[in-house]
Amino acid sequence: MADIKKRKKPESLRPSYKPMDITLIKRDKSRSDLRNELGISPSTLAKMSNGEYVALDVIGLICEYLNCRIEEVIEFVETEETTE
């Protein structure tokens, strides 16, 4: 059986969903609307709140629902490195 390598994630970038929060406000919508109308799970919304990665199809669904571009939902920001 072949060894399966774990896929790497970017070390210096992380997703930020602040643009989505701004777009939701502009559209008079909330994260609850995403959960109730699109069926996005609370765990996925929690990942978004924590700046974690979510599946691209979820991002696409949100873009479709809000009638917006991907840049209005997610952006990548540099991670803060702590050195001691």
pLDDT, mean over the chain: 91
> What pLDDT, in 10s, does the model give residues 20-60?
999 999 999 999 999 999 999 999 999 999 999 999 999 99
CA distances from 55 to 39, 62, 78, 79 (A): 14, 11, 20, 20
Domain spans in the chain, listed from the N-terminal domain onward: 13-78
With beta carbons less than 8 A apart as the criterion, state whether 38 and 62 touch. Answer: yes
What fold characterizes domain 13-78?
434 Repressor (Amino-terminal Domain) (1.10.260)
